[in-house]
Structure 1
Amino acid sequence: MLTYENRQPEFENPQCDNRCRRICEILHKLKAYEEDSTAKFVILKGNGKAFCAGGDVTAAINMIISGHWSFGGRFYRRQYALDYLLATYKKPLVALINGIVMGGGAGISMHATFRLVTEKTVFAMPEAAIGLIPDVGASHFLSRLPGFFGEYLGLTGARLDGNEMVTCGLATHFVHSKDLASLEHALDVEGSSKALDVPAISNIINKFGQKVSIKKDSPYNRLEIINDCFCRETVEEIVSKLEGYLATNNSEKWITGAIKFMKAASPTSLKVFLKSIRKGRKQILPRCLVQEYNVLCHMLRRTFHDDVFEGSRAMLIDKDKRPKWKPSKLELVSEEMVDGFFDKVDDEEWEPLQLPHRSIAAYTTQNSKL
Protein backbone atom coordinates (compact mmCIF):
# COMPACT_ATOMS: atom_id res chain seq x y z
CA MET A 1 0.00 0.00 0.00
CA LEU A 2 1.24 3.49 -0.84
CA THR A 3 -0.26 6.46 0.93
CA TYR A 4 0.12 10.17 0.25
CA GLU A 5 -1.05 12.51 2.98
CA ASN A 6 -2.36 15.83 1.71
CA ARG A 7 -1.45 18.53 4.21
CA GLN A 8 -3.44 21.68 4.84
CA PRO A 9 -2.09 24.97 3.46
CA GLU A 10 0.56 26.72 5.53
CA PHE A 11 -0.79 30.26 5.65
CA GLU A 12 2.20 31.65 7.55
CA ASN A 13 4.34 31.31 4.41
CA PRO A 14 2.08 32.37 1.55
CA GLN A 15 4.30 31.80 -1.46
CA CYS A 16 2.47 30.65 -4.56
CA ASP A 17 5.60 28.98 -5.93
CA ASN A 18 5.75 26.81 -2.81
CA ARG A 19 2.20 25.66 -3.51
CA CYS A 20 3.17 24.89 -7.10
CA ARG A 21 6.11 22.82 -5.92
CA ARG A 22 3.90 20.93 -3.49
CA ILE A 23 1.43 20.06 -6.23
CA CYS A 24 4.30 19.04 -8.50
CA GLU A 25 5.55 16.75 -5.73
CA ILE A 26 2.16 15.06 -5.50
CA LEU A 27 2.04 14.74 -9.29
CA HIS A 28 5.51 13.22 -9.34
CA LYS A 29 4.67 10.69 -6.63
CA LEU A 30 1.39 9.68 -8.25
CA LYS A 31 3.04 9.18 -11.62
CA ALA A 32 5.75 7.08 -10.01
CA TYR A 33 3.18 4.94 -8.17
CA GLU A 34 1.21 4.50 -11.38
CA GLU A 35 4.23 2.91 -13.09
CA ASP A 36 5.36 0.95 -10.02
CA SER A 37 4.27 -2.69 -10.41
CA THR A 38 4.41 -3.19 -6.64
CA ALA A 39 1.87 -0.43 -6.00
CA LYS A 40 -1.61 -1.91 -6.21
CA PHE A 41 -3.61 1.14 -5.15
CA VAL A 42 -3.10 4.57 -3.59
CA ILE A 43 -4.74 6.05 -0.51
CA LEU A 44 -5.37 9.80 -0.27
CA LYS A 45 -6.01 11.20 3.19
CA GLY A 46 -5.65 14.36 5.22
CA ASN A 47 -3.15 15.05 7.95
CA GLY A 48 -5.13 16.58 10.78
CA LYS A 49 -8.76 17.46 11.42
CA ALA A 50 -9.57 18.17 7.76
CA PHE A 51 -9.16 16.21 4.56
CA CYS A 52 -8.42 19.45 2.67
CA ALA A 53 -10.10 22.82 3.21
CA GLY A 54 -9.10 23.98 -0.28
CA GLY A 55 -6.19 25.71 -1.94
CA ASP A 56 -4.47 28.75 -0.48
CA VAL A 57 -6.39 31.46 -2.34
CA THR A 58 -4.85 34.16 -0.17
CA ALA A 59 -1.34 33.18 -1.27
CA ALA A 60 -2.30 33.24 -4.95
CA ILE A 61 -3.99 36.64 -4.59
CA ASN A 62 -1.01 38.13 -2.74
CA MET A 63 1.37 36.89 -5.41
CA ILE A 64 -0.78 38.40 -8.17
CA ILE A 65 -1.00 41.74 -6.39
CA SER A 66 2.76 41.87 -5.92
CA GLY A 67 3.64 40.66 -9.40
CA HIS A 68 1.62 39.35 -12.31
CA TRP A 69 -1.70 37.56 -12.61
CA SER A 70 0.02 34.61 -14.27
CA PHE A 71 1.49 33.58 -10.88
CA GLY A 72 -1.99 32.51 -9.85
CA GLY A 73 -2.64 30.98 -13.24
CA ARG A 74 0.46 28.81 -12.90
CA PHE A 75 -0.74 27.48 -9.54
CA TYR A 76 -4.18 26.57 -10.83
CA ARG A 77 -2.77 25.06 -14.02
CA ARG A 78 -0.85 22.54 -11.93
CA GLN A 79 -3.81 21.93 -9.67
CA TYR A 80 -6.04 21.11 -12.64
CA ALA A 81 -3.35 18.80 -14.03
CA LEU A 82 -3.40 16.96 -10.69
CA ASP A 83 -7.19 16.67 -10.73
CA TYR A 84 -7.07 15.27 -14.27
CA LEU A 85 -4.40 12.73 -13.34
CA LEU A 86 -6.50 11.54 -10.42
CA ALA A 87 -9.58 11.22 -12.63
CA THR A 88 -7.69 9.13 -15.20
CA TYR A 89 -5.48 7.18 -12.81
CA LYS A 90 -4.62 3.66 -13.93
CA LYS A 91 -4.83 2.21 -10.44
CA PRO A 92 -7.58 2.35 -7.82
CA LEU A 93 -7.61 5.46 -5.65
CA VAL A 94 -9.09 5.34 -2.15
CA ALA A 95 -9.91 8.78 -0.73
CA LEU A 96 -10.47 8.80 3.03
CA ILE A 97 -12.51 12.00 3.40
CA ASN A 98 -12.52 12.43 7.18
CA GLY A 99 -13.26 16.06 8.09
CA ILE A 100 -13.72 19.16 5.99
CA VAL A 101 -13.47 18.85 2.20
CA MET A 102 -14.01 22.08 0.29
CA GLY A 103 -12.88 23.73 -2.93
CA GLY A 104 -9.58 22.29 -4.08
CA GLY A 105 -10.03 19.38 -1.66
CA ALA A 106 -13.01 18.28 -3.72
CA GLY A 107 -10.80 18.15 -6.81
CA ILE A 108 -8.43 15.79 -5.03
CA SER A 109 -11.14 13.49 -3.70
CA MET A 110 -14.17 13.56 -6.00
CA HIS A 111 -12.26 11.95 -8.88
CA ALA A 112 -11.14 8.94 -6.80
CA THR A 113 -12.40 5.39 -7.42
CA PHE A 114 -13.52 5.01 -3.81
CA ARG A 115 -14.67 8.06 -1.85
CA LEU A 116 -15.09 7.16 1.81
CA VAL A 117 -16.74 9.60 4.22
CA THR A 118 -17.34 9.56 7.97
CA GLU A 119 -19.52 11.21 10.60
CA LYS A 120 -16.91 14.02 10.66
CA THR A 121 -17.07 14.81 6.95
CA VAL A 122 -18.31 18.22 5.80
CA PHE A 123 -18.48 19.00 2.08
CA ALA A 124 -19.08 22.40 0.47
CA MET A 125 -18.20 24.43 -2.62
CA PRO A 126 -18.62 28.05 -1.37
CA GLU A 127 -16.35 29.76 -3.92
CA ALA A 128 -18.98 32.31 -5.00
CA ALA A 129 -18.65 33.89 -1.54
CA ILE A 130 -15.16 35.10 -2.50
CA GLY A 131 -15.87 35.95 -6.13
CA LEU A 132 -14.75 32.66 -7.68
CA ILE A 133 -16.77 29.74 -9.03
CA PRO A 134 -16.78 26.08 -7.99
CA ASP A 135 -14.04 24.61 -10.20
CA VAL A 136 -11.55 21.66 -10.07
CA GLY A 137 -14.00 19.75 -12.26
CA ALA A 138 -17.13 20.82 -10.36
CA SER A 139 -18.96 21.65 -13.58
CA HIS A 140 -18.61 17.93 -14.33
CA PHE A 141 -19.09 16.13 -11.01
CA LEU A 142 -21.79 18.47 -9.66
CA SER A 143 -23.73 18.38 -12.92
CA ARG A 144 -23.90 14.57 -12.70
CA LEU A 145 -25.77 14.61 -9.39
CA PRO A 146 -29.50 13.80 -9.36
CA GLY A 147 -31.74 16.47 -10.84
CA PHE A 148 -30.44 19.97 -10.22
CA PHE A 149 -28.85 19.21 -6.87
CA GLY A 150 -25.47 20.25 -8.28
CA GLU A 151 -26.79 23.71 -9.13
CA TYR A 152 -28.10 23.96 -5.59
CA LEU A 153 -24.73 23.07 -4.04
CA GLY A 154 -22.70 25.37 -6.29
CA LEU A 155 -25.01 28.39 -6.08
CA THR A 156 -25.69 28.26 -2.34
CA GLY A 157 -22.43 26.94 -0.86
CA ALA A 158 -24.58 24.47 1.11
CA ARG A 159 -22.83 22.01 3.40
CA LEU A 160 -23.40 18.27 3.27
CA ASP A 161 -22.52 15.66 5.86
CA GLY A 162 -21.20 12.19 5.07
CA ASN A 163 -24.63 10.55 4.97
CA GLU A 164 -25.88 13.13 2.47
CA MET A 165 -22.77 12.74 0.32
CA VAL A 166 -23.33 9.00 -0.05
CA THR A 167 -27.04 9.45 -0.68
CA CYS A 168 -26.58 11.98 -3.48
CA GLY A 169 -23.61 10.15 -5.03
CA LEU A 170 -20.66 12.35 -4.11
CA ALA A 171 -19.27 9.57 -1.91
CA THR A 172 -19.26 5.79 -2.38
CA HIS A 173 -19.07 4.53 1.22
CA PHE A 174 -19.75 5.65 4.80
CA VAL A 175 -17.29 4.40 7.42
CA HIS A 176 -17.05 5.38 11.08
CA SER A 177 -13.90 7.44 11.67
CA LYS A 178 -12.82 5.06 14.45
CA ASP A 179 -12.65 2.25 11.87
CA LEU A 180 -10.45 4.00 9.30
CA ALA A 181 -7.17 2.76 10.79
CA SER A 182 -8.47 -0.83 10.82
CA LEU A 183 -9.65 -0.46 7.24
CA GLU A 184 -6.23 0.78 6.13
CA HIS A 185 -4.60 -2.12 7.96
CA ALA A 186 -6.91 -4.60 6.25
CA LEU A 187 -6.08 -3.16 2.85
CA ASP A 188 -2.37 -3.26 3.69
CA VAL A 189 -2.48 -6.88 4.85
CA GLU A 190 -4.47 -8.07 1.86
CA GLY A 191 -2.36 -6.03 -0.53
CA SER A 192 0.85 -7.52 0.86
CA SER A 193 -0.30 -11.10 0.32
CA LYS A 194 -2.04 -10.90 -3.04
CA ALA A 195 -2.95 -8.67 -5.91
CA LEU A 196 -5.91 -6.42 -5.17
CA ASP A 197 -8.24 -5.46 -7.97
CA VAL A 198 -11.21 -3.14 -7.67
CA PRO A 199 -13.73 -5.84 -6.63
CA ALA A 200 -11.32 -7.11 -3.95
CA ILE A 201 -10.79 -3.60 -2.57
CA SER A 202 -14.54 -3.02 -2.65
CA ASN A 203 -15.14 -6.21 -0.67
CA ILE A 204 -12.72 -5.10 2.04
CA ILE A 205 -14.25 -1.64 2.28
CA ASN A 206 -17.75 -3.12 2.42
CA LYS A 207 -16.81 -4.98 5.63
CA PHE A 208 -16.41 -1.60 7.31
CA GLY A 209 -19.15 0.25 5.44
CA GLN A 210 -22.28 1.42 7.23
CA LYS A 211 -25.81 2.05 6.03
CA VAL A 212 -26.62 5.71 5.63
CA SER A 213 -29.65 7.62 6.77
CA ILE A 214 -30.11 11.33 6.13
CA LYS A 215 -31.89 13.63 8.54
CA LYS A 216 -35.54 14.43 8.02
CA ASP A 217 -34.78 18.12 7.35
CA SER A 218 -31.97 17.40 4.87
CA PRO A 219 -32.33 19.47 1.68
CA TYR A 220 -31.88 16.26 -0.29
CA ASN A 221 -35.28 15.20 1.00
CA ARG A 222 -36.61 18.30 -0.75
CA LEU A 223 -35.19 17.37 -4.14
CA GLU A 224 -38.55 18.01 -5.78
CA ILE A 225 -38.47 21.63 -4.60
CA ILE A 226 -34.78 21.99 -5.48
CA ASN A 227 -35.42 20.72 -8.99
CA ASP A 228 -38.34 23.09 -9.44
CA CYS A 229 -36.25 26.08 -8.34
CA PHE A 230 -32.79 25.35 -9.70
CA CYS A 231 -33.90 24.18 -13.15
CA ARG A 232 -34.64 27.82 -14.02
CA GLU A 233 -32.67 29.52 -16.77
CA THR A 234 -31.40 32.48 -14.73
CA VAL A 235 -30.17 33.06 -11.20
CA GLU A 236 -32.81 35.76 -10.77
CA GLU A 237 -35.54 33.22 -11.55
CA ILE A 238 -34.02 30.74 -9.13
CA VAL A 239 -33.98 33.28 -6.28
CA SER A 240 -37.52 34.39 -7.07
CA LYS A 241 -38.80 30.80 -7.06
CA LEU A 242 -37.08 30.10 -3.74
CA GLU A 243 -38.63 33.22 -2.23
CA GLY A 244 -42.03 32.03 -3.46
CA TYR A 245 -41.63 28.70 -1.67
CA LEU A 246 -40.40 30.44 1.49
CA ALA A 247 -43.45 32.71 1.51
CA THR A 248 -45.76 29.70 1.73
CA ASN A 249 -43.60 27.61 4.09
CA ASN A 250 -41.16 29.54 6.29
CA SER A 251 -40.19 26.39 8.19
CA GLU A 252 -37.84 25.33 5.39
CA LYS A 253 -34.61 26.63 6.93
CA TRP A 254 -32.50 25.38 4.03
CA ILE A 255 -34.34 27.78 1.70
CA THR A 256 -33.57 30.70 4.02
CA GLY A 257 -29.90 29.71 4.02
CA ALA A 258 -29.83 29.34 0.25
CA ILE A 259 -31.32 32.78 -0.35
CA LYS A 260 -29.05 34.40 2.23
CA PHE A 261 -25.91 32.95 0.62
CA MET A 262 -26.94 33.88 -2.90
CA LYS A 263 -27.75 37.48 -1.94
CA ALA A 264 -24.37 37.86 -0.21
CA ALA A 265 -22.25 36.14 -2.90
CA SER A 266 -20.76 37.73 -6.00
CA PRO A 267 -23.60 38.21 -8.50
CA THR A 268 -21.20 37.68 -11.38
CA SER A 269 -19.80 34.45 -9.90
CA LEU A 270 -23.29 33.04 -9.46
CA LYS A 271 -24.22 33.73 -13.07
CA VAL A 272 -20.92 32.44 -14.44
CA PHE A 273 -21.20 29.23 -12.40
CA LEU A 274 -24.74 28.59 -13.60
CA LYS A 275 -23.54 28.82 -17.19
CA SER A 276 -20.50 26.69 -16.36
CA ILE A 277 -22.47 23.80 -14.86
CA ARG A 278 -25.07 23.90 -17.61
CA LYS A 279 -22.31 23.64 -20.23
CA GLY A 280 -20.50 21.03 -18.13
CA ARG A 281 -23.51 18.73 -18.08
CA LYS A 282 -22.96 18.13 -21.79
CA GLN A 283 -19.15 17.91 -21.70
CA ILE A 284 -16.54 15.31 -20.77
CA LEU A 285 -14.25 16.05 -17.82
CA PRO A 286 -11.19 17.30 -19.76
CA ARG A 287 -13.33 19.85 -21.55
CA CYS A 288 -14.86 20.94 -18.24
CA LEU A 289 -11.41 21.51 -16.74
CA VAL A 290 -10.26 23.51 -19.78
CA GLN A 291 -13.41 25.61 -19.59
CA GLU A 292 -13.06 26.25 -15.85
CA TYR A 293 -9.41 27.22 -16.23
CA ASN A 294 -10.38 29.71 -18.93
CA VAL A 295 -12.98 31.30 -16.63
CA LEU A 296 -10.59 31.34 -13.68
CA CYS A 297 -7.86 33.09 -15.69
CA HIS A 298 -10.31 35.84 -16.68
CA MET A 299 -11.08 36.31 -12.99
CA LEU A 300 -7.42 36.38 -11.93
CA ARG A 301 -6.56 38.74 -14.78
CA ARG A 302 -9.48 41.04 -13.83
CA THR A 303 -10.70 41.06 -17.41
CA PHE A 304 -14.21 42.10 -16.42
CA HIS A 305 -14.18 42.79 -12.67
CA ASP A 306 -12.23 42.62 -9.40
CA ASP A 307 -14.63 40.43 -7.45
CA VAL A 308 -12.15 37.68 -6.57
CA PHE A 309 -9.74 40.24 -5.13
CA GLU A 310 -12.48 42.07 -3.26
CA GLY A 311 -13.99 38.81 -2.02
CA SER A 312 -10.62 37.52 -0.82
CA ARG A 313 -9.99 40.82 0.96
CA ALA A 314 -13.36 40.82 2.71
CA MET A 315 -13.60 37.13 3.59
CA LEU A 316 -9.99 35.92 3.96
CA ILE A 317 -7.65 38.87 4.56
CA ASP A 318 -9.39 41.75 6.36
CA LYS A 319 -12.30 39.46 7.28
CA ASP A 320 -14.82 42.28 7.56
CA LYS A 321 -17.22 40.03 5.60
CA ARG A 322 -18.52 43.03 3.67
CA PRO A 323 -17.40 42.62 0.06
CA LYS A 324 -18.39 45.35 -2.36
CA TRP A 325 -19.20 43.50 -5.56
CA LYS A 326 -19.10 45.20 -8.95
CA PRO A 327 -21.68 44.83 -10.43
CA SER A 328 -23.51 44.77 -7.09
CA LYS A 329 -26.78 43.18 -8.23
CA LEU A 330 -27.75 40.20 -10.36
CA GLU A 331 -29.76 42.32 -12.77
CA LEU A 332 -26.68 44.43 -13.49
CA VAL A 333 -24.67 41.42 -14.72
CA SER A 334 -25.41 41.18 -18.43
CA GLU A 335 -25.50 38.01 -20.48
CA GLU A 336 -22.74 39.43 -22.68
CA MET A 337 -20.51 39.88 -19.65
CA VAL A 338 -21.10 36.29 -18.53
CA ASP A 339 -20.38 34.97 -22.03
CA GLY A 340 -17.09 36.86 -22.02
CA PHE A 341 -15.67 34.63 -19.28
CA PHE A 342 -15.85 31.69 -21.67
CA ASP A 343 -14.00 33.47 -24.49
CA LYS A 344 -10.27 33.06 -25.02
CA VAL A 345 -8.10 35.20 -22.75
CA ASP A 346 -6.58 37.99 -24.83
CA ASP A 347 -3.09 38.03 -23.36
CA GLU A 348 0.11 37.08 -25.20
CA GLU A 349 1.48 35.48 -22.00
CA TRP A 350 -1.57 33.24 -21.56
CA GLU A 351 -1.86 29.68 -22.77
CA PRO A 352 -5.04 27.63 -22.58
CA LEU A 353 -4.94 24.52 -20.43
CA GLN A 354 -3.43 21.59 -22.33
CA LEU A 355 -4.24 18.15 -20.96
CA PRO A 356 -2.58 14.98 -22.29
CA HIS A 357 -4.80 12.27 -23.71
CA ARG A 358 -5.49 9.69 -21.03
CA SER A 359 -8.23 7.09 -21.04
CA ILE A 360 -10.54 7.02 -18.04
CA ALA A 361 -10.27 3.54 -16.53
CA ALA A 362 -13.39 1.40 -16.83
CA TYR A 363 -13.63 0.87 -13.09
CA THR A 364 -13.79 4.61 -12.52
CA THR A 365 -17.21 4.91 -14.12
CA GLN A 366 -18.46 1.52 -12.94
CA ASN A 367 -17.65 2.26 -9.32
CA SER A 368 -18.83 5.85 -9.28
CA LYS A 369 -22.21 7.53 -9.47
CA LEU A 370 -20.49 10.53 -10.99
Structure 2
Amino acid sequence: MGGGAGASIHGRFRVATENSVFAMPETALGLFPDVGASYFLSRLPGFFGEYLGLTGTRLDGAEMLVCGLATHFVPSERLSLLEEALCKVDSSDPAIISAVINEYSKQPYIKEKSAYHRLNVIDRCFSRRTVEEIISALERVALNKKDDWISKTIQSLKRASPTSLKISLRSIRQGRLQGVGQCLVREYRIACHVMQGKLSKDPFEGFRAILLDKDKNPKWSPLNWSLLVTIWLTHTSL
Protein backbone atom coordinates (compact mmCIF):
# COMPACT_ATOMS: atom_id res chain seq x y z
CA MET A 1 0.00 0.00 0.00
CA GLY A 2 1.10 3.54 -0.67
CA GLY A 3 4.85 3.88 -0.33
CA GLY A 4 5.20 0.13 0.10
CA ALA A 5 3.71 -0.37 -3.34
CA GLY A 6 5.99 2.27 -4.81
CA ALA A 7 9.06 0.61 -3.32
CA SER A 8 8.29 -2.76 -4.90
CA ILE A 9 6.18 -2.29 -7.99
CA HIS A 10 9.00 -0.98 -10.18
CA GLY A 11 10.71 -4.38 -10.01
CA ARG A 12 10.83 -6.72 -13.01
CA PHE A 13 9.00 -9.53 -11.19
CA ARG A 14 6.04 -8.86 -8.90
CA VAL A 15 4.57 -11.99 -7.32
CA ALA A 16 1.11 -11.78 -5.76
CA THR A 17 -0.72 -14.38 -3.67
CA GLU A 18 -4.27 -14.81 -2.43
CA ASN A 19 -3.20 -12.78 0.63
CA SER A 20 -1.90 -9.78 -1.33
CA VAL A 21 -3.58 -6.39 -1.03
CA PHE A 22 -2.78 -3.35 -3.15
CA ALA A 23 -4.04 0.21 -2.65
CA MET A 24 -2.95 3.81 -3.03
CA PRO A 25 -5.14 5.38 -0.31
CA GLU A 26 -3.47 8.79 -0.22
CA THR A 27 -6.47 10.94 -1.21
CA ALA A 28 -8.24 9.91 2.02
CA LEU A 29 -5.23 11.29 3.92
CA GLY A 30 -5.03 14.59 2.07
CA LEU A 31 -2.06 13.44 0.00
CA PHE A 32 -1.66 12.07 -3.54
CA PRO A 33 -0.24 8.80 -4.95
CA ASP A 34 3.50 9.26 -5.37
CA VAL A 35 6.68 7.09 -5.38
CA GLY A 36 6.17 6.66 -9.13
CA ALA A 37 2.43 6.02 -8.93
CA SER A 38 1.67 8.49 -11.70
CA TYR A 39 3.84 6.30 -13.92
CA PHE A 40 2.52 2.84 -13.11
CA LEU A 41 -1.13 3.82 -12.54
CA SER A 42 -1.28 5.66 -15.85
CA ARG A 43 -0.17 2.49 -17.65
CA LEU A 44 -2.93 0.24 -16.38
CA PRO A 45 -5.72 -0.76 -18.79
CA GLY A 46 -7.93 2.14 -19.86
CA PHE A 47 -8.53 4.56 -17.00
CA PHE A 48 -8.31 1.94 -14.27
CA GLY A 49 -5.32 3.80 -12.82
CA GLU A 50 -7.30 7.00 -12.36
CA TYR A 51 -9.99 4.97 -10.61
CA LEU A 52 -7.51 3.36 -8.22
CA GLY A 53 -5.60 6.57 -7.54
CA LEU A 54 -8.64 8.73 -6.83
CA THR A 55 -10.75 6.25 -4.82
CA GLY A 56 -8.01 4.33 -2.98
CA THR A 57 -9.79 1.07 -3.85
CA ARG A 58 -8.13 -2.12 -2.60
CA LEU A 59 -7.25 -4.92 -5.02
CA ASP A 60 -6.53 -8.54 -4.19
CA GLY A 61 -3.82 -10.66 -5.78
CA ALA A 62 -5.99 -11.89 -8.65
CA GLU A 63 -6.98 -8.33 -9.58
CA MET A 64 -3.35 -7.22 -9.35
CA LEU A 65 -2.40 -9.88 -11.89
CA VAL A 66 -5.16 -9.20 -14.38
CA CYS A 67 -4.55 -5.44 -14.49
CA GLY A 68 -0.76 -5.77 -14.70
CA LEU A 69 0.30 -4.64 -11.23
CA ALA A 70 1.60 -8.17 -10.58
CA THR A 71 3.50 -10.27 -13.10
CA HIS A 72 2.76 -13.64 -11.45
CA PHE A 73 0.27 -15.19 -9.07
CA VAL A 74 1.65 -17.91 -6.79
CA PRO A 75 -0.47 -19.56 -4.07
CA SER A 76 1.01 -18.75 -0.66
CA GLU A 77 1.58 -22.42 0.19
CA ARG A 78 3.96 -22.63 -2.78
CA LEU A 79 6.09 -19.60 -1.93
CA SER A 80 8.67 -21.56 0.06
CA LEU A 81 9.06 -24.00 -2.83
CA LEU A 82 9.46 -21.11 -5.26
CA GLU A 83 12.10 -19.55 -3.01
CA GLU A 84 14.06 -22.81 -2.91
CA ALA A 85 13.87 -23.14 -6.68
CA LEU A 86 15.06 -19.57 -7.25
CA CYS A 87 17.99 -20.08 -4.87
CA LYS A 88 19.14 -22.96 -7.05
CA VAL A 89 19.10 -20.95 -10.26
CA ASP A 90 22.62 -20.05 -11.35
CA SER A 91 21.58 -17.29 -13.72
CA SER A 92 20.36 -13.71 -13.76
CA ASP A 93 18.70 -14.13 -17.15
CA PRO A 94 15.17 -12.67 -16.79
CA ALA A 95 13.73 -15.30 -19.13
CA ILE A 96 15.09 -18.12 -16.98
CA ILE A 97 13.89 -16.50 -13.76
CA SER A 98 10.45 -15.96 -15.25
CA ALA A 99 10.28 -19.57 -16.39
CA VAL A 100 11.02 -20.76 -12.84
CA ILE A 101 8.31 -18.54 -11.36
CA ASN A 102 5.88 -19.76 -14.03
CA GLU A 103 6.30 -23.33 -12.77
CA TYR A 104 4.75 -22.33 -9.44
CA SER A 105 2.21 -19.87 -10.81
CA LYS A 106 -1.46 -20.35 -11.54
CA GLN A 107 -4.29 -18.36 -13.09
CA PRO A 108 -6.46 -17.10 -10.21
CA TYR A 109 -10.20 -16.60 -10.15
CA ILE A 110 -11.37 -12.99 -10.30
CA LYS A 111 -14.32 -12.36 -8.02
CA GLU A 112 -17.63 -11.56 -9.64
CA LYS A 113 -17.86 -8.24 -7.78
CA SER A 114 -14.36 -7.14 -8.81
CA ALA A 115 -14.11 -3.56 -10.00
CA TYR A 116 -12.12 -4.85 -12.96
CA HIS A 117 -15.35 -6.22 -14.39
CA ARG A 118 -16.61 -2.61 -14.44
CA LEU A 119 -13.84 -1.38 -16.73
CA ASN A 120 -16.32 -0.11 -19.34
CA VAL A 121 -18.04 2.14 -16.78
CA ILE A 122 -14.70 3.16 -15.28
CA ASP A 123 -13.35 4.17 -18.69
CA ARG A 124 -16.51 6.11 -19.51
CA CYS A 125 -16.49 8.08 -16.25
CA PHE A 126 -12.83 8.37 -15.19
CA SER A 127 -11.70 9.50 -18.63
CA ARG A 128 -13.37 12.87 -17.98
CA ARG A 129 -11.20 15.95 -17.78
CA THR A 130 -11.95 17.07 -14.22
CA VAL A 131 -12.87 15.51 -10.89
CA GLU A 132 -16.24 17.26 -10.98
CA GLU A 133 -16.98 15.79 -14.41
CA ILE A 134 -15.98 12.32 -13.20
CA ILE A 135 -18.38 12.53 -10.25
CA SER A 136 -21.17 13.89 -12.47
CA ALA A 137 -20.68 11.04 -14.94
CA LEU A 138 -20.89 8.47 -12.14
CA GLU A 139 -24.02 10.12 -10.75
CA ARG A 140 -25.68 9.96 -14.18
CA VAL A 141 -24.93 6.25 -14.36
CA ALA A 142 -26.32 5.80 -10.85
CA LEU A 143 -29.60 7.46 -11.89
CA ASN A 144 -30.19 4.85 -14.55
CA LYS A 145 -28.96 1.82 -12.66
CA LYS A 146 -29.05 0.92 -8.98
CA ASP A 147 -25.54 -0.32 -8.24
CA ASP A 148 -23.81 -0.51 -4.85
CA TRP A 149 -20.40 -0.33 -6.51
CA ILE A 150 -21.19 3.01 -8.18
CA SER A 151 -22.63 4.39 -4.93
CA LYS A 152 -19.51 3.39 -2.98
CA THR A 153 -17.28 4.88 -5.67
CA ILE A 154 -19.10 8.22 -5.49
CA GLN A 155 -18.95 8.17 -1.69
CA SER A 156 -15.20 7.48 -1.76
CA LEU A 157 -14.62 10.46 -4.03
CA LYS A 158 -16.77 12.78 -1.94
CA ARG A 159 -15.05 11.73 1.31
CA ALA A 160 -11.56 12.36 -0.06
CA SER A 161 -9.70 15.66 0.05
CA PRO A 162 -10.84 17.78 -2.94
CA THR A 163 -7.34 19.18 -3.26
CA SER A 164 -5.82 15.72 -3.24
CA LEU A 165 -8.23 14.49 -5.90
CA LYS A 166 -7.31 17.31 -8.25
CA ILE A 167 -3.57 16.86 -7.72
CA SER A 168 -3.87 13.09 -8.13
CA LEU A 169 -5.85 13.28 -11.37
CA ARG A 170 -3.51 15.82 -12.91
CA SER A 171 -0.46 13.85 -11.78
CA ILE A 172 -1.66 10.57 -13.30
CA ARG A 173 -2.57 12.29 -16.55
CA GLN A 174 0.86 13.89 -16.67
CA GLY A 175 2.41 10.50 -15.97
CA ARG A 176 1.00 9.12 -19.20
CA LEU A 177 3.44 11.36 -21.06
CA GLN A 178 6.55 10.87 -18.89
CA GLY A 179 9.08 8.21 -18.00
CA VAL A 180 9.41 6.82 -14.51
CA GLY A 181 12.36 9.09 -13.67
CA GLN A 182 10.46 12.22 -14.65
CA CYS A 183 7.44 11.06 -12.64
CA LEU A 184 9.52 10.45 -9.52
CA VAL A 185 11.14 13.89 -9.72
CA ARG A 186 7.84 15.67 -10.35
CA GLU A 187 6.04 13.81 -7.55
CA TYR A 188 8.82 14.59 -5.10
CA ARG A 189 8.66 18.30 -5.88
CA ILE A 190 4.88 18.40 -5.60
CA ALA A 191 5.06 16.50 -2.29
CA CYS A 192 7.49 19.10 -0.94
CA HIS A 193 4.97 21.85 -1.71
CA VAL A 194 2.08 19.87 -0.26
CA MET A 195 3.88 19.09 3.00
CA GLN A 196 4.82 22.75 3.49
CA GLY A 197 1.13 23.37 4.10
CA LYS A 198 0.95 26.37 1.77
CA LEU A 199 -1.49 24.72 -0.62
CA SER A 200 -3.77 23.44 2.15
CA LYS A 201 -3.62 21.86 5.60
CA ASP A 202 -5.31 18.70 4.34
CA PRO A 203 -2.37 16.30 4.88
CA PHE A 204 -2.18 17.23 8.56
CA GLU A 205 -5.95 17.04 8.94
CA GLY A 206 -5.98 13.66 7.21
CA PHE A 207 -3.29 12.29 9.52
CA ARG A 208 -5.26 13.54 12.52
CA ALA A 209 -8.61 12.10 11.44
CA ILE A 210 -7.43 8.78 10.03
CA LEU A 211 -4.25 7.89 11.94
CA LEU A 212 -4.23 9.80 15.25
CA ASP A 213 -7.72 10.57 16.57
CA LYS A 214 -9.25 8.01 14.19
CA ASP A 215 -12.59 9.77 14.11
CA LYS A 216 -12.57 9.35 10.29
CA ASN A 217 -14.15 12.75 9.90
CA PRO A 218 -11.57 15.08 8.36
CA LYS A 219 -12.43 18.73 7.83
CA TRP A 220 -10.86 19.54 4.48
CA SER A 221 -9.61 23.05 3.70
CA PRO A 222 -10.72 25.10 0.69
CA LEU A 223 -8.52 24.67 -2.37
CA ASN A 224 -5.86 27.33 -2.98
CA TRP A 225 -6.31 27.49 -6.75
CA SER A 226 -3.69 30.13 -7.52
CA LEU A 227 -0.94 28.27 -5.70
CA LEU A 228 -2.00 24.95 -7.21
CA VAL A 229 -1.75 26.37 -10.73
CA THR A 230 1.65 27.88 -9.93
CA ILE A 231 2.99 24.52 -8.72
CA TRP A 232 1.91 22.76 -11.93
CA LEU A 233 3.23 25.44 -14.26
CA THR A 234 6.57 25.52 -12.44
CA HIS A 235 7.29 21.84 -11.87
CA THR A 236 5.25 19.42 -13.97
CA SER A 237 7.08 19.99 -17.23
CA LEU A 238 10.54 19.27 -15.78
Alignment map for 1:1-370 (pairs within 5 Å): 102-190=1-89, 194-251=90-147, 253-327=148-222, 333=223, 336-342=226-232, 344=234
When residues 224 and 266 of structure 1 are mapped into structure 2, their CA distance, relative to the original with a 3 A threshold, is same
More strand by share: 1
Q: RCO higher in 1 or 2 (8 Å CA, sep ≥ 6)? A: 2
What are the ranges of 5 or more consecutive residues in structure 1 without an aligned counterpart? Answer: 1-101, 328-332, 346-353, 355-370
Structure 2: distance between partners of 1:337 and 1:323: 22
Structure 1: distance between partners of 2:30 and 2:37: 16
Q: How many residues align?
A: 236
SS at match of 1:114: coil
Q: What's the CA shift string for 1:306-359, capped at 9, x where partnerless? A: 1101110111111111111111xxxxx4754432333559xxxxxxxx9xxxxx
What residue in structure 2 maps to residue 62 of structure 1? Answer: none
Q: Is the 8 A contact 1:294 1:342 kept in 2?
A: no
Over aligned residues, Cα RMSD in angstroms? Answer: 1.6
TM-score in terms of structure 2 length:
0.95
SS at match of 2:232: coil
Q: Is the 8 A contact 1:128 1:269 kept in 2?
A: yes
SS at match of 1:146: coil
Is the radius of gyration larger for structure 1 or structure 2? 1
Structure 1: distance between partners of 2:190 and 2:117: 33
Q: What's the CA shift string for 1:252-311, capped at 9, x where partnerless? A: x22222111111110000001111111111011111111111111111111221110111
Q: State the percentage of identical aligned residues.
A: 54
Q: Which amino acid aligns with 2:22?
A: F
Q: Which amino acid aligns with 2:76?
A: S
Q: Is the 8 A contact 1:167 1:212 kept in 2?
A: no
